[in-house]
Amino acid sequence: MKSMHTSVIKNTIELDKKARNRVLELKEEKANIDERIKSDQKELLKQMKLEVDQAVLEARSKYEAQLYTRQSTESLQFKQVLDEMTRTYEENRETWINEIVAFCEK
């Protein structure tokens, strides 16, 4: 009978020891998972920042190209209008001066 109790006690102690070891293993595993999650999160944030920075650079390049094109077009149109006005002035200057003088003499 004593041997049976001793066997039960040994088995209980052995099971307790195995359970405590398993709990320690699980705690280590959880700590590793937490660290891996933090590391993955940092890596994801880093990757997202790179993607956002790249998107900003691409958008900036696109808008700068559009701005340059529009500026060139507007500048050309301004020059054309200015040339047209200058040509109209040169062609009509004498006529306009004569008309103003004639109007003032009346």
Render pLDDT for 36-90 as a digit per residue (tens, 0 to 9).
888 999 999 999 999 999 999 999 999 999 999 999 999 999 999 999 999 999 9
Place of tokens 């066997």: 7
pLDDT above 70 for 1: no
Question: Can you give the pLDDT at residue 4?
Answer: 65
pLDDT value at position 64?
96
Cα separations (Å) of 48 from 16, 27, 33, 34?
A: 47, 31, 22, 21
Tell me, what's the pLDDT at 54? 97
Rounded-to-integer distance, Cα 47 and Cα 42, Å: 9
